[in-house]
Structure 1
């Protein structure tokens, strides 16, 4: 095993005590991939806010974000990547943008969590969507689903293509003329398959990755996907390889969860499968 420093990722997400998502997904996944996860909690909740949970506790941590940035900067910390997910307000979007500017990490991964299945999340205002568009311009890699892709492009969801050839034009447009990499999630090339379509800004390559699809909605799969993708990129792997790894891992987790008939609110049962993400030890 080498003695080189363990890479560090600043992971900016909410912390939900129950219902696997956000930091409770990012921290174990990045850790098992031999990466130090430095969490930045945007809020602390008893459960996630998805359908099926009511009366959850909620502690807004917005006031801490700037303090964290300033303290870390005073320590002259270096992060190999900054990785952000769901953000709860316009102010949080601004503060994350300031953190990105402060640390100038060589990799910025932004999962522009704004909606799904053609619907914008209830907490997201038009101003927040505009803020996310601006924030995503600072990313080296973005991981939108089709709903979020429409929001980033200012289009109606119903006007978005469903075929792979049409989605390739969407991915190319999202790349900002090839300036950033894009991984469009939830892409199905044929019945029974799902995965992602990626554009690699380094190589200009478009790639489609597919895996068996589980025919049910499961909470937290996007967080699992983006966390595996971030970890693989920090390890130095190609976008195609890490997208393939993320697609296959999410599929494994979804199949396991489906076999156990677990509640969708509980998230995907990924913990017993973390061994699949262990890097080779040199």
Structure 2
């Protein structure tokens, strides 16, 4: 079954309230001209940041059946994009999805959703961290935040990161996996380097170059910004942006979405006001990045 539109298998949870995971990935990628085929990993009553009372329904068994039906349909995907996983067993399902339904040149992007602010999310476990390391080792590109970098590399969480540390982390993350799967490209989002700015770092495994872009700090934090960044980033790559351009484009979009939301003063747990800023994805302008 062929299509002139890039087709993406989006393996994320579905949160009923709060803009995160599939409720971010689907509108972002669709607005960028992609067909999104969701494979829900879990259904939650809400996103979990600053919310203690939420329901969580694990869909591991249903995922197995859905992937089997996709195989029967003869579907193939231009990209497999995984985010929040609800159980360690889901790592095997994501790997099967890529092996069975990925094309020869399909892109495998893993956003290793594990935690933030130095802590695991409530539903994540040490076993899932270990399995996520394996999955990250098989990806073409990974997009962890700084907390997830520390969990993937089993290194202490610190309040600030130097450029030297950032390069060491990028190279170590690129080398995850066996010899066959090494040399992946890596993005580190939300790296705390300066008091007044947030940096995003990138390592291009093919050219062995390091890139960065920075945005002013906004005195607010919103759930779902990592999902937003990774979704814009994947869409930009499938639109043939270079890796540093896709990085800078994604960081700029997240910054403007956060700034817009902050201006309205909406509750933090709502997430970013995606509906207000989606048109910004169609702008034709230059995005700033530099070597470091």
> Shorter-chain TM-score: which interval?
over 0.9
Residue of structure 2 in register with 1:112 after alignment? 112
Q: 2:161 matched to 1:167?
A: no
Paired positions, count: 275
Residue of structure 2 in register with 1:99 after alignment? 97
Q: 2:206 matched to 1:202?
A: yes
Give, in angstroms, the shift of residue 156 of structure 1.
2.3
Match of 2:188, SS state, is strand
Residue of structure 2 in register with 1:148 after alignment? 148
Cα shift readout 1:1-51 (whole Å, capped 9, x = no counterpart): xxx701001000011111000000000000000000111111122211221
1:225 pairs, out of 218, 222, 229, with: 229
User: Is the deviation greater in 267-276 or in 94-103?
Assistant: 94-103
User: Is the deviation greater in 181-190 or in 254-263?
Assistant: 181-190
Residue of structure 1 in register with 2:288 after alignment? none
User: Is the deviation greater in 16-25 or in 44-53?
Assistant: 44-53
Give, in angstroms, the shift of residue 161 of structure 1.
6.3
* Paired residues of 1:199 and 1:205 also in contact (CA < 8 A): yes
Residue of structure 2 in register with 1:215 after alignment? 219
State the alpha-carbon separation in 2 of the partners of residues 165 and 156 from structure 1: 16
State the alpha-carbon separation in 1 of the partners of residues 74 and 209 from structure 2: 36
Give, in angstroms, the shift of residue 262 of structure 1.
1.3
Cα shift readout 1:206-237 (whole Å, capped 9, x = no counterpart): 00111222122211110110110111111121
State the alpha-carbon separation in 1 of the partners of residues 243 and 196 from structure 2: 24
Cα shift readout 1:178-232 (whole Å, capped 9, x = no counterpart): 6100000112443322131000122221001112221222111101101101111
Matches within 5 A, 1:69-148: 69-105=67-103, 106-148=106-148
Unaligned runs of 5+ in 1: none
* Paired residues of 1:26 and 1:227 also in contact (CA < 8 A): yes
Give, in angstroms, the shift of residue 273 of structure 1.
1.0
1:246 pairs, out of 239, 250, 257, with: 250
State the alpha-carbon separation in 2 of the partners of residues 91 and 39 from structure 1: 18
Match of 1:70, SS state, is helix
Residue of structure 1 in register with 2:10 after alignment? 11
State the alpha-carbon separation in 2 of the partners of residues 92 and 65 from structure 1: 8
Residue of structure 2 in register with 1:58 after alignment? 56
Match of 1:236, SS state, is coil
Across the aligned residues of Structure 1 and Structure 2, the Cα RMSD in angstroms comes to 1.8
State the alpha-carbon separation in 2 of the partners of residues 237 and 79 from structure 1: 19
Cα shift readout 1:104-161 (whole Å, capped 9, x = no counterpart): 3420110101111111223222111110000111110001111111111122224x86
Residue of structure 2 in register with 1:179 after alignment? 183
Residue of structure 2 in register with 1:191 after alignment? 195
Cα shift readout 1:26-85 (whole Å, capped 9, x = no counterpart): 00000000000111111122211221352x343322111111211111222111100010
Unaligned runs of 5+ in 2: 177-181, 285-292
State the alpha-carbon separation in 1 of the partners of residues 123 and 194 from structure 2: 33
